[in-house]
Each structure stands twice: as structure tokens, then as C-alpha cells.
Amino acid sequence: MQQTEFLTIVMPFKDKLFRLAKRLLVSKEEAEDATQEVLLKLWSKNKKMEGYNNVEAFAMTMTKNFCLDRLKSKQAANLKLVHSNYTDNDSSLDKKLEATDSVSWVQKIMEELPEQQKMVLQLRDVEQYEYEEISEMLEMKPTAVRVALSRARKAVREELTKKHNYGIV
């Protein structure tokens, strides 16, 4: 596979790799490093790439595994899960502050979720992957993906209701 062909295949989902890495690692810099490492690994496997059914799913799995390895390493003592992927350019300052606060609450709640639920919620609701793709990436059955997603959404909803009371007395 030539460099131009590799770039044509890989570059469209490079940002998704970064967002997943950002979800798993604490900083933008860590996520950029992880993305770069995964891209280098993909390039080193470029001869075999034509044999992969879904290069994007393979790359996302590589990113997930790389980030989880980083989190387990001794260097990762200060890493934690965060995510700030929400921007709204045409709203008032109050709405921006409210949206930022809501995203912040969701981040805090997601930090408390079990690892599998965090991953499924990120891949489905943020990255908008299909259930089959998620099950392939996370090596789970599609039914288990749906159950984990349902439990994660329920936990987030319940915690938000507790935190904000949403009109419930």
C-alpha cells in the first residue's frame, strides 16, 4: 500500500481516534501522542491492511488498547478519564455556561461508570458508531453492548436527576 492510499483510508477517521484517546487520557497532549503512536503502528502494518474488513474498527481497537495500556503503566499515575467535546458557537453566555456545566456533570458521572460502560457510551453516543462496530471493537456480543449502553445511560440520567433535581421535589 502506497502512502497516498494509506492517507486516503486512514485520515478520514483520525479525529475519531483522537477523541477516543482524549476520552481515555487526561490531556490533549497525551491524546495526540497516543493518536500518533497508533498511526505509526497502522503504517507499519500497511502491507497487511488490505486484509482487514474494517480498518477504522481495527484502528479504534488499537487506540483503545494503547490508551488502556498507558493507563495501566507506571507513567500514568496522574491520568484520569475526561472529555470535553462539546461546543456551541451561537448561544448566549448563560446558555454556554449552562451547557458547559452540564457537560462537566456528565464527565464527572462518566468517570464513575465501570470501564466497559464508559467505552460503550463514548463509542455510541459521542462517536456514533453502530452496535455491530462497537461489539467488534470491544470484543463484546451486540446484546452485551446494548445492555451496557442502557445501564450507562440510566446511571447518567439518575445521577443528573439527583444533582440537578430537574423539577422533581
**Whether residue 51 sits in one domain with residue 107:** no
Q: What is the pLDDT of residue 161?
A: 80
Q: pLDDT digits over 23-79, tens only?
A: 888 678 888 999 999 999 988 887 887 778 888 888 899 998 898 888 777 454 544
22 neighbors 28 (Cβ within 8 angstroms): yes
Q: Tell me if 45 is assigned to some domain.
A: yes
Q: Tell me if 108 is assigned to some domain.
A: yes
Q: pLDDT digits over 112-164, tens only?
A: 889 899 889 888 888 888 899 899 989 999 999 999 999 999 998 888 788 76
3-state SS record for 40-72: HHHHHCCCCHHHCCCHHHHHHHHHHHHHHHHHH
Phi, psi of 127 (to 5 degrees): -85, -15
35 neighbors 111 (Cβ within 8 angstroms): no
Q: Tell me if 85 is assigned to some domain.
A: no
Q: Tell me if 83 is assigned to some domain.
A: no
Of 22, 44, 78, which one is at a domain's C-terminal end?
A: 78
> What average pLDDT does this structure show over 8-14?
87
**Domain encompassing residue 57:** 3-78
- DSSP, residue by residue, 5-26: HHHHHHGGGHHHHHHHHHHHSS
- Read off the CATH number of the domain in which 43 is found: 1.10.1740
Q: Tell me if 41 is assigned to some domain.
A: yes
What is the total count of domains within the chain?
2
Tell me the C-alpha distance between 88 and 150, whole Å: 27
**Whether residue 39 sits in one domain with residue 104:** no
Q: Tell me if 65 is assigned to some domain.
A: yes
- Read off the CATH number of the domain in which 125 is found: 1.10.10.10
